[in-house]
A and B are shown apart, each in its own frame.
Chain A
């Protein structure tokens, strides 16, 4: 089975340094790319059906196609890696950052070449201190080997790459919030249009891409778009780092073909539920996705199939709910996070998420009232996509609205019994 992203991850947990990375074929992709016309690289990425692995799943090649190219394009253009992994339940980028930092650097360089960007930033979650250390070392190695800086591999292409560690806040993981944070401003999001490809970092054309997405690029360049496309089981190309947390036998991460089913992940790789607990549901892609239940286990974990059953793949790291854990408490925990992370820009989010958290708190503490479920349903409607300024609040209400759908009886018990039945 192809595992391009993780095949060379060291079992002892240390990072692959530059020499070790090159020994296993590292930087061959970049060398090849620099000998290829950027437009051909863009086309290959398009043909590969690579989609963004940050959560939104936007086709990467199409995203790049909006970047103005040619001598008249504004300069400098920016290539930014979104390494602000803060989606609750998600830990896949951390593996790549700590184990294969050079794979990321190479991927970023290829992307920068494809869009003719001269400056790149890694926007790293501040709490990932180990990743920061390893990235700094890898960047130093790359500069020393002249793989970064001026005239890389004699191609005439320059690329400065900087590591920026975030001061905190989930909002910085939102593409435009990230751009504002990187500029030293408050991490409020920006409206789109204009898109970052037109007016991005410092008002210049920019592409923001997830760690995992960028790590795919050396392999696409080395092995071709067809190869990448064919790995996927359902049409979306490549592999995916899937994960699971919760009371499963083997929580962890696995690189598998895109489109692997939920059941296979849950039962085969995560080993199924632990002794003494039974499966009730799961959030397929981190906190801001809708619950799936028993009936959905045979759905493919890709960008399209999950949407059809009313959820999203998101980051592909599942949070599993067992029957010994209170769903209301779980949702309350998630909404506490989202309410806390609301940037405070748009009314439905900063007012509604707070209200949602308070209501769930009351329910969990046995003070819920009849009308609370109606209020929670209202907030789900109120914070729908388009009603808010960015996707934080719509994501926040996904677990809420699906919990109300699938676990309504549990909510009603809290109200009727004036307590949490799981305590």
Chain B
């Protein structure tokens, strides 16, 4: 630690930091723009000017930028020096020369960092009488809106987009006071993290285009700490609601998980909550006619279907909370509770969990992944399957080159100096996948192969690391590559292996486990990260359930089937799904969006979306995290677990009848499932009060409460109660910072924007005070009880007339619920299959034409894409976008060109 002096007083500081982050950590209101906690200092805006003195005798001093000044021992600065104060106000004046008087109509108003810094510096009176420069705005796609006149040239956007996120189609143009940030021409931003521009931009240049459609000021929104439900990583979010409508989604800082950034699927997938496809009323279906019914009538219908019946089966869901799944399991009984996912997917999950329990390697958080200095990626396409992981891997390849800049004593926060010295050097990232990925540009080597060959490569790497690992019969180039990978991993301090559920391959997962074990045997501090398909795949698999094929069998003799937040058509192939529905005598469905299952159900119960429910999800890291209701469900909508509790009560399940609030379910769950006992630590119990008060979901400036419903009834209604959490549906309550898992939004006096996050951290970019939210449930085994996996698969062999169809994913489209959000749907590709040019030629497939993909139990008509990166004998089929759902891959199939008759496809019928 170093001692530094600020305004004449000594403080303890970390000498590896700069004086701006040090000052902010200490709670000083020092304004800034271009510095960003995740992107370091570049010294462009000059806003953080302070006066620096050589020693206590120096009375003159000189102005320096705090962000560029190391917090070295003895550093002496004055923030409240009159020259510094005058200068900082002058910087705002300079920024304001061209800034339009847009505040009243600007989306950023109320959470605008420029507004905050203007007030903070005290600049007010306008002295500049000349014209302002203006720009023509570009269309950048449905996610990000551009209003360039507001730009203050802080360069954060281009630094994030190009340097941090690796995007190429966005840059700075022109110079002096005419700098333009945008694309070379109008068009959809290509980078999958473009939405972060709306938070990174300190003014209203880049704003959320979806929020604009139903705009609300930040202070008028109701928030809650929530978790993204669109992939398995569990990024923390802060959704905002008003008038019963979700307005937008912003990042909620969690230093271990998502840090400061979200992916575009997570940020823009929320609109499904407002969809006209929402199930808002219970429905009873008799003789094919659907009848909306009241809650009372619905429960009456449920009683008829379920009460007294012995053989009711339940299908859980990897996108529903632990509490909802557990409630279903309690209702139907353990032996009747089925995993709501395909068998092979479940098997791979179970295998991954057992590996994580037995391996000595640690399952790293995303933050830890950023710090890994050598990575082997087996089979996964993170950008489209677990997108935030891809962003973390982009930071990991910066680790090894830090050795050079550390030696030259260039501080890591001096961002451009580090990047300039490092140039194109990267740490080793090896990617083995069945097709090109969006991370290939930072890979040291890429390997293309079918899943079996990818697994074999992994096994070979383990063998190269440890001769006692099983041998493969690989030869030639592949062995050379395996040796190269092994060497790179062995040389690293924190080597990482990433695999997961993307290819549904146990072999790949086992190979990854072997590599981790071999690294451990070689004395390395290895990490092993598995990706999982959905937000609670991990939780359901840890809870345990019977495989879905069992349900398909059991359905015939069952009295009724209860499906929780799931769509059977997405879990079983076409014919099997069809059979399932045919053989179901009575079907009860709980969900928030209409789907094939709900449309066939005899009884449909309106379940709350994530925004209207509370619950616990377990991420791929094994981190249990609690999400809280943003707004109370309206009308007949109710949390799934409460519906199931009601069903349980009328079925005579005494213990369920006693569940009044969420904590009751959590306690029951943690008692019943010891592996999940740790979830009680994910968040405080509902009874927590701070200075006797609840934590308000709404900012203290929330307006309109009295008048909001005056058109319905002039009396102000009582705010809804929340028995499930220490949060209130109000702006009244505890005014200080709540415990980290309960933070609904970030705000600090004078800091209305997301920059206020600084003041919730013990140190800048570090953990939130009290620790980042979430409770890890799986820690590495001390020594590792199991040995190596020995089932090395045979090398992939081409077949004469068939191709091995493997799943491909897309960030927009492969997730069920986000696809119901209009901007995501707009950006989702049409279903396609990608094949190698040679295979295309053999099958007479032409680009841009249609092909019939025929598998054992389903067939799909999709567009053909000819791609030289796809290996021979393999076809990559996009899954998730209807009609390509429920398909079990990898599987052998045939591809036939589809003849389009003259006059177009319409004439065929």
Residues of A near any B CB (own CB < 8 A): 169, 171, 186, 190-191, 193-194, 198-199, 202-203, 339-348, 350-355, 358, 362, 371, 375, 378, 382, 384, 386-389
Per the bound structure, the CA–CA distance linking A354 and B174 in Å amounts to 15
Residues of chain A with a CB closer than 8 A to B176's CB: 339-344, 350, 353-354
Per the bound structure, the CA–CA distance linking A104 and B417 in Å amounts to 31
Shortest CB distance A180–B (Å): 8
Please tell me if the beta carbons of A203 and B421 are within 8 angstroms of each other in the complex: yes
* Extra A-B contacts (18), CB below 8 Å, given A344-B172, A347-B46: A169-B175, A186-B172, A190-B417, A191-B68, A193-B410, A194-B421, A198-B408, A199-B408, A199-B420, A339-B176, A342-B176, A344-B153, A347-B94, A351-B93, A351-B94, A352-B94, A355-B94, A362-B130
Please tell me if the beta carbons of A351 and B177 are within 8 angstroms of each other in the complex: yes
B407-439 residues at the A interface, CB under 8 angstroms: 408, 410, 414, 416-417, 420-423
Residues of chain A with a CB closer than 8 A to B47's CB: 347
Q: Say yes or no: A358-B46 contact (C-beta < 8 A), given A198-B408, A199-B420, A348-B91.
A: no
B474 in contact (CB, < 8 A): no
Per the bound structure, the CA–CA distance linking A203 and B97 in Å amounts to 36
Shortest CB distance B134–A (Å): 14
Residues of chain A with a CB closer than 8 A to B408's CB: 194, 198-199
Residues of chain A with a CB closer than 8 A to B95's CB: 347, 351
A362 nearest in chain B by CB position: B130
Shortest CB distance B89–A (Å): 10
Q: Provide the B46-58 mask, 1 if CB < 8 A to any CB of A, else 0.
A: 1101000000000
B179 nearest in chain A by CB position: A344
Please tell me if the beta carbons of B179 and A199 are within 8 angstroms of each other in the complex: no
Residues of chain A with a CB closer than 8 A to B45's CB: 346-347
Residues of chain A with a CB closer than 8 A to B155's CB: 345
B35-52 residues at the A interface, CB under 8 angstroms: 42-47, 49
Residues of chain A with a CB closer than 8 A to B46's CB: 346-348, 387-389
Please tell me if the beta carbons of A347 and B91 are within 8 angstroms of each other in the complex: yes
Please tell me if the beta carbons of B175 and A342 are within 8 angstroms of each other in the complex: yes
Per the bound structure, the CA–CA distance linking A186 and B420 in Å amounts to 13
Shortest CB distance B550–A (Å): 60
Residues of chain B with a CB closer than 8 A to A362's CB: 130
Per the bound structure, the CA–CA distance linking A180 and B175 in Å amounts to 15
Please tell me if the beta carbons of A345 and B44 are within 8 angstroms of each other in the complex: yes
Residues of chain A with a CB closer than 8 A to B175's CB: 169, 171, 186, 342-344
Please tell me if the beta carbons of B44 and A346 are within 8 angstroms of each other in the complex: yes
Please tell me if the beta carbons of B43 and A386 are within 8 angstroms of each other in the complex: no
Per the bound structure, the CA–CA distance linking A22 and B422 in Å amounts to 42
Per the bound structure, the CA–CA distance linking A358 and B417 in Å amounts to 35
Per the bound structure, the CA–CA distance linking A33 and B196 in Å amounts to 56
Per the bound structure, the CA–CA distance linking A171 and B179 in Å amounts to 15
Shortest CB distance B39–A (Å): 15
B890 in contact (CB, < 8 A): no
Please tell me if the beta carbons of A199 and B410 are within 8 angstroms of each other in the complex: yes
Residues of chain B with a CB closer than 8 A to A344's CB: 153, 172, 174-179
Q: Say yes or no: A351-B127 contact (C-beta < 8 A), given A199-B408, A346-B43, A346-B46.
A: no
Give 3 closest A-B pairs by Cβ, nearest first: A351-B94, A203-B421, A199-B421
Shortest CB distance B444–A (Å): 19
A187 nearest in chain B by CB position: B175
Contact of B410 among A194, A343, A388, A389 (CB under 8 A): A194
B95 nearest in chain A by CB position: A347
Contact of B177 among A186, A341, A354, A384 (CB under 8 A): A354
Residues of chain A with a CB closer than 8 A to B416's CB: 190-191
> A190, A347, A371, A388: which has the most chain B beta carbons within 10 Å?
A347
Please tell me if the beta carbons of A354 and B97 are within 8 angstroms of each other in the complex: yes
Please tell me if the beta carbons of B177 and A350 are within 8 angstroms of each other in the complex: yes
Q: How large is the interface on B (under 10, 10 to 19, 20 to 34, 35 or more residues)?
A: 35 or more
Per the bound structure, the CA–CA distance linking A375 and B128 in Å amounts to 9
Residues of chain B with a CB closer than 8 A to A348's CB: 46, 90-91, 94
Per the bound structure, the CA–CA distance linking A171 and B153 in Å amounts to 18
Residues of chain A with a CB closer than 8 A to B62's CB: 386
Q: Say yes or no: A350-B153 contact (C-beta < 8 A), given A344-B175, A355-B97, A389-B44.
A: yes
Please tell me if the beta carbons of B410 and A358 are within 8 angstroms of each other in the complex: no
Shortest CB distance B895–A (Å): 44
B49 nearest in chain A by CB position: A387
Please tell me if the beta carbons of A371 and B63 are within 8 angstroms of each other in the complex: no
A-B contact pairs, 20 of them (CB 8 A): A190-B420, A194-B408, A199-B410, A199-B417, A199-B420, A202-B423, A341-B176, A346-B45, A347-B153, A348-B46, A348-B94, A350-B94, A351-B94, A351-B97, A354-B177, A355-B97, A375-B127, A387-B49, A387-B87, A389-B46
Residues of chain A with a CB closer than 8 A to B152's CB: 347
Per the bound structure, the CA–CA distance linking A354 and B95 in Å amounts to 12
B85-127 residues at the A interface, CB under 8 angstroms: 87, 90-91, 93-95, 97-98, 127
Shortest CB distance B426–A (Å): 13
B301 in contact (CB, < 8 A): no
Shortest CB distance A75–B (Å): 13
Shortest CB distance A359–B (Å): 8
Per the bound structure, the CA–CA distance linking A171 and B93 in Å amounts to 25
A186 nearest in chain B by CB position: B172
Q: Provide the B156-181 mask, 1 if CB < 8 A to any CB of A, else 0.
A: 00000000000000001011111100
Residues of chain B with a CB closer than 8 A to A341's CB: 176
Per the bound structure, the CA–CA distance linking A298 and B417 in Å amounts to 44
Residues of chain A with a CB closer than 8 A to B87's CB: 382, 387
Please tell me if the beta carbons of B128 and A355 are within 8 angstroms of each other in the complex: yes
A382 nearest in chain B by CB position: B90
Residues of chain B with a CB closer than 8 A to A382's CB: 87, 90, 94
B64 in contact (CB, < 8 A): yes
Contact of B422 among A171, A191, A203, A375 (CB under 8 A): A203
Shortest CB distance B78–A (Å): 15
Please tell me if the beta carbons of B130 and A358 are within 8 angstroms of each other in the complex: yes
Per the bound structure, the CA–CA distance linking A347 and B68 in Å amounts to 16
Per the bound structure, the CA–CA distance linking A202 and B424 in Å amounts to 9
Residues of chain B with a CB closer than 8 A to A198's CB: 408
Per the bound structure, the CA–CA distance linking A85 and B98 in Å amounts to 32
Per the bound structure, the CA–CA distance linking A340 and B176 in Å amounts to 7
Per the bound structure, the CA–CA distance linking A186 and B408 in Å amounts to 25
Residues of chain B with a CB closer than 8 A to A350's CB: 94, 153, 176-177, 179
Residues of chain A with a CB closer than 8 A to B178's CB: 344
Contact of A386 among B64, B90, B130, B421 (CB under 8 A): B64
Per the bound structure, the CA–CA distance linking A203 and B421 in Å amounts to 4
B417 nearest in chain A by CB position: A194
Contact of A203 among B43, B64, B420 (CB under 8 A): B420
Per the bound structure, the CA–CA distance linking A388 and B65 in Å amounts to 9
Shortest CB distance B658–A (Å): 63
Q: Provide the B15-48 mask, 1 if CB < 8 A to any CB of A, else 0.
A: 0000000000000000000000000001111110
A375 nearest in chain B by CB position: B127
A179 nearest in chain B by CB position: B420
Shortest CB distance B421–A (Å): 4
> B176, B179, B410, B421: which has the most chain A beta carbons within 10 Å?
B176
Shortest CB distance B81–A (Å): 13
Residues of chain A with a CB closer than 8 A to B68's CB: 191
Contact of B63 among A355, A378, A386 (CB under 8 A): A386
B176 nearest in chain A by CB position: A342
A340 nearest in chain B by CB position: B176
Please tell me if the beta carbons of B177 and A191 are within 8 angstroms of each other in the complex: no
Per the bound structure, the CA–CA distance linking A193 and B69 in Å amounts to 11
B419 nearest in chain A by CB position: A203
Residues of chain A with a CB closer than 8 A to B423's CB: 202-203
Per the bound structure, the CA–CA distance linking A352 and B90 in Å amounts to 10
Shortest CB distance B669–A (Å): 54
Q: Provide the B280-301 mask, 1 if CB < 8 A to any CB of A, else 0.
A: 0000000000000000000000
A385 nearest in chain B by CB position: B62
B725-759 residues at the A interface, CB under 8 angstroms: none
Residues of chain B with a CB closer than 8 A to A342's CB: 175-177
Per the bound structure, the CA–CA distance linking A371 and B416 in Å amounts to 39
> A343, A345, A378: which has the most chain B beta carbons within 10 Å?
A345
